[in-house]
Structure 1
């Protein structure tokens, strides 16, 4: 490395100048930081520190390929562990997860006490579905730093992927205790509580309010907006959607046909993307938005200020407590009307969110006390399913060829509680020769397959009655429904997207009547598809009896299957123009109601 030079650097050493550049980079003054790095490189083109820092500037700009090139050049000059750590973060952001894992692994070899490297290695291993290795990495972090709340949160995420719900809930609780102001473990735990059989709506809401308290302590809500106070009759309502799931994801699937059908004279959409993940569905969605903004990596206040400056009338949270949520920015109240829909299924806990959009099935009279938000009911379903572009044709009823009935469930095994396993096992014992096809990504792992077989064997159901399959590409996944006669929805957390897909593939879904929003979702979908209460049981015993009765009438199942796709396509579940009119009406009515309240408050003042 070259000796320090002073004259060309204004009297500063390279170390001093790069220290200043590093501070500028951390303050997001990226152009200034880059300029200082280039000054150093003009004197010493091989300066590893300047190359590394230029790479970090590119990383913060989202220029991941360039960042990787710069940092790799720095490593070729000086193979320091902190450079490898930075390269791992760049590779992870660039979705080169295997490369990221290798970088972090090298750091742990060079610095065995580097807790952050083990943490990031675990995150990469989870992304590679190396769940057991990820558990070991997070345990190593906790060995080095027993009070590391982030590591407990990340460990809980992996445990949930391994279908270890009680252990995951415990780890999230510890994460919250270790880092009370961190929102991510609280959100993760709230989402997971919906899987837990013993959680009451009241207990859930209490936890959601605790989350909201942390948000409210950090936020200073706007009390005025730049949108004016008039009905939106002369111009469209400006509606922002905050989501990280505007891609191949249930939110994307349920939004696609709706945004295509909205009347631009009534609603003008603005997307606020909270993740950098995009795919072909993102490309299809973008033309239907007036503008598309990324707020990934932008702090909550800055994002809220941007939304306020964009003059948004109604802001929709499409994530709830799920991954990539930005509920904290809603605490700043950047829009006068804020709504939760369609990506969550319980209260966010935030008083700053005015409405929860649902329907009469998921928001029945008498359950309003489950929410902080005001329930708003759509006339049909609160969801509109976008039929897959290249779905396989609906095949004949498998039972007619097989001579036995095949039940199916294509969802997360975490929803398959002990009560559900006992119920499905009772059905399999009652229906001679029947099979149950379970299809879930978790079943790619031998230990989870063995655990699943053992759970059913405890109820007298042998492996010969169970068909266990792992992940498939979407086309093959949909085609697998052609091997199913009847789909079974679990409870209390039922099928949602998988129920709509099952119906589209001609397979009726048997569900259970619930006692809260999340457990009512299958009811909403089945009703919207035109199957009414026939396929919704009122109790566990009723669920078993209905399954047995449906299985006994192959001709009725065959007739239903033959016409079910056409029925679903003609139903409110897939009628995007009808749904779009209802959504426009709902958003305008929310605006008018909020406007009347603000005008009244202004008059009283």
Structure 2
């Protein structure tokens, strides 16, 4: 009797404490909804006292602590919840979310899988799992988790956005565009989704179409300088704009950026001695299989380490074998994708960098706001962007006299132009693919043209020029390599066939493995450059494979990039003086098979013997340019 009575009393007491805890949890949720986190935390803490084995009390406490910025306290609360019930899906999910933010991906993954075993329809856990998998470079699995989430909630704008990002990484551009467009249909005002859609369309080669979401994003977020930077990049591909118009836009942008991010450093650690050892800092998101890294490897390998110390600031987490080669050649490697612009500027200033080099400009990972802070005494633009940045805090841009003729380009830059004696590039092929000894026109009896430039460089006007070349040479063929998007492929096919060119004369290929890409040069006689955004690496690749390049000069440095390379090899007759004469030059060159055959056997050696592949000379020229900039700084001359 007594034991039963005591049991009833104990049960009633526990029930009252549980009821009290439930009321406190409800009160805490109301306080949280009202924005009163302090009151919510107190309610949840009291609830854990009344019901120390109540999982929900600890989960809610963890949520409130995390929202207050107390990550350690939140972690402890979730750990306590899991000690009570290791299978609780919400405790597993919330703790995993914290661990993901801290970079503890392996345990986060285990917790999320536990949450999903208890609650298979837990969409938020699936989305977070996709983030954890992606952070471990397991993007196909991340996309799979998102596909499961979308089967459960097909109209989730956020999940569709994440899915679009994953598909973009997997180079499934058409599907990525569809997912992002659907996300925007469901939630039209997403700036990041508009930006991502623009990027996907640009990567597909749909340059004009990419501008619509980008400019809508700019309307919604005019303070986003990264969006404005991407628009400036696009202007270089607009044939309707003059060099002066493009410069005006860059200069206005740079002025706004420097007002928003003013110079913060007035003194620098390095001694202003003109001949001391210098620290060079390279900032890029392209230390990977990318033209920037390809060209940078040369001075990194041949640099004079007694006179220069090299720091590389990697602003992207992308890693491949080329990344490891760059890292191994640098004296210091700094992973820089997480710090803010101000934090990265502080780090560079602490590192006492003497000359800071931007390798991106208005391409890739946006870091120009960091340069506006002026963390180094001398700041330079080189390699990644053949135009002005528009910033006065970047004092110099490295170029050459062919991309930037003296007196022509200087007024169109906020930077002072430093022209290397021969070229701003030194080419090193990624692969030693054997070149054909004779061009295909010898056996076929007709000329095959080829385009190997990025799809985004092929505009509607470019298609009209190519169609006119084919019209005037009725037996000629055209091969276009690097068109992986079905939408871009259809647009090219339509633009060319609508002028009367039969599909049988066209071969359109996707992006190819490097060896297959190189071997396709053996199947063409003449490479066709694009306007107004010319080729760089692809121009070198064509010449290396014995294929001459038809190009033209325009009003911007990048419109003269291929001409700069071709002219240094003495192939002046392959350069049209203007875009209007491009078709005439291509047709005339195609009617001279003897010269095409002669060049096939001699171009590789001509290139190898030129300054364009003289790695030692190029590196000394570059280092001499750096030393000249430094000496001007020491003399009190800040370029402009």
Fold match by TM threshold 0.5: yes
Aligned to 1:241, what secondary structure does the other structure show? strand
Deviations 1:391-431 (A, max 9, x none): 23444211112221111111223322233222222222333
Q: Does 1:284 align with 2:325?
A: yes
The correspondence for 1:500, drawn from 526, 540, 564, is 540
Counterpart in 1 of 2:207? Answer: 165
Distance 1:30 1:574 in 2: 54
Deviations 1:141-187 (A, max 9, x none): 33333322222222222332444333321221111010112233222
After superposing the two structures, state which structure 1 stretch, 15-24 or 480-489, moved more.
15-24
Distance 1:452 1:112 in 2: 33
After superposition, the Cα gap between the structure-2 partners of 1:507 and 1:63, relative to the gap in structure 1 and judged at 3 Å, is farther
Q: CA deviation at 1:47?
A: 4.4
In the TM superposition, what are the counterparts of 1:497-536 in structure 2 within 5 Å?
497-528=537-568, 530-536=569-575
Distance 1:448 1:513 in 2: 26
**Are the equivalent residues in 2 in contact too, given 1:415–1:491 (CA < 8 A)?**
yes
Q: Does 1:242 align with 2:283?
A: yes
After superposing the two structures, state which structure 1 stretch, 454-463 or 10-19, moved more.
10-19
Q: Show structure 2 runs of 5+ residues with no match.
A: 1-20, 23-46
After superposition, the Cα gap between the structure-2 partners of 1:299 and 1:467, relative to the gap in structure 1 and judged at 3 Å, is same
The correspondence for 2:390, drawn from 349, 359, 380, is 349
Distance 2:288 2:205 in 1: 25
Q: Does 1:450 align with 2:494?
A: no
In the TM superposition, what are the counterparts of 1:153-302 in structure 2 within 5 Å?
153-213=195-255, 215-234=257-276, 236-302=277-343
Q: Does 1:549 align with 2:591?
A: no
Counterpart in 2 of 1:482? Answer: 522
Counterpart in 2 of 1:336? Answer: 377
Aligned to 1:346, what secondary structure does the other structure show? coil
Distance 1:162 1:228 in 2: 45
**Are the equivalent residues in 2 in contact too, given 1:255–1:386 (CA < 8 A)?**
no
Aligned to 1:362, what secondary structure does the other structure show? coil
Aligned to 1:338, what secondary structure does the other structure show? strand
Distance 2:360 2:73 in 1: 36
Distance 1:539 1:212 in 2: 30
Aligned to 1:441, what secondary structure does the other structure show? coil
Q: CA deviation at 1:261?
A: 0.9
After superposition, the Cα gap between the structure-2 partners of 1:56 and 1:519, relative to the gap in structure 1 and judged at 3 Å, is same
Q: Does 1:382 align with 2:424?
A: yes
Counterpart in 1 of 2:108? Answer: 67
Q: Does 1:368 align with 2:400?
A: no
Q: CA deviation at 1:66?
A: 4.3
In the TM superposition, what are the counterparts of 1:33-72 in structure 2 within 5 Å?
37-38=78-79, 40-72=81-113
After superposition, the Cα gap between the structure-2 partners of 1:52 and 1:209, relative to the gap in structure 1 and judged at 3 Å, is farther
Counterpart in 2 of 1:595? Answer: 634
The correspondence for 1:319, drawn from 360, 378, 381, is 360
Distance 1:10 1:44 in 2: 9
Q: CA deviation at 1:540?
A: 4.2
Counterpart in 2 of 1:403? Answer: 445
Distance 2:77 2:248 in 1: 51
Q: CA deviation at 1:231?
A: 2.4
Counterpart in 2 of 1:567? Answer: 606
Distance 2:99 2:256 in 1: 33
Counterpart in 1 of 2:32? Answer: none
Aligned to 1:384, what secondary structure does the other structure show? coil
Q: Show structure 1 runs of 5+ residues with no match.
A: none
Using the size of structure 2 for normalisation, the TM-score is 0.85
Q: Does 1:465 align with 2:509?
A: no
Distance 2:311 2:623 in 1: 15
Distance 2:404 2:106 in 1: 47
Using the size of structure 1 for normalisation, the TM-score is 0.90
Deviations 1:345-364 (A, max 9, x none): 12222222111111111221
After superposing the two structures, state which structure 1 stretch, 468-477 or 9-18, moved more.
9-18
Deviations 1:75-98 (A, max 9, x none): 323443222221222233333333
**Are the equivalent residues in 1 in contact too, given 2:336–2:344 (CA < 8 A)?**
yes
Counterpart in 2 of 1:127? Answer: 169
Distance 2:136 2:409 in 1: 44
Aligned to 1:240, what secondary structure does the other structure show? strand
Deviations 1:520-544 (A, max 9, x none): 111222133x134222111345433
After superposing the two structures, state which structure 1 stretch, 241-250 or 145-154, moved more.
145-154
After superposition, the Cα gap between the structure-2 partners of 1:17 and 1:105, relative to the gap in structure 1 and judged at 3 Å, is same
Q: CA deviation at 1:490?
A: 1.4
After superposition, the Cα gap between the structure-2 partners of 1:10 and 1:75, relative to the gap in structure 1 and judged at 3 Å, is closer
Distance 2:111 2:200 in 1: 32
After superposition, the Cα gap between the structure-2 partners of 1:290 and 1:66, relative to the gap in structure 1 and judged at 3 Å, is farther
After superposing the two structures, state which structure 1 stretch, 299-308 or 106-115, moved more.
106-115
**Are the equivalent residues in 2 in contact too, given 1:9–1:39 (CA < 8 A)?**
no
After superposition, the Cα gap between the structure-2 partners of 1:30 and 1:358, relative to the gap in structure 1 and judged at 3 Å, is farther
Deviations 1:481-537 (A, max 9, x none): 011111111111111110011111111111101211110111222133x13422211
Aligned-residue RMSD, C-alpha: 2.9
Counterpart in 2 of 1:22? Answer: 66
**Are the equivalent residues in 2 in contact too, given 1:21–1:37 (CA < 8 A)?**
no
After superposing the two structures, state which structure 1 stretch, 36-45 or 183-192, moved more.
36-45
Counterpart in 1 of 2:4? Answer: none
After superposition, the Cα gap between the structure-2 partners of 1:139 and 1:454, relative to the gap in structure 1 and judged at 3 Å, is closer
Aligned to 2:465, what secondary structure does the other structure show? helix
After superposing the two structures, state which structure 1 stretch, 367-376 or 509-518, moved more.
367-376
Distance 1:330 1:32 in 2: 38
After superposition, the Cα gap between the structure-2 partners of 1:569 and 1:67, relative to the gap in structure 1 and judged at 3 Å, is farther
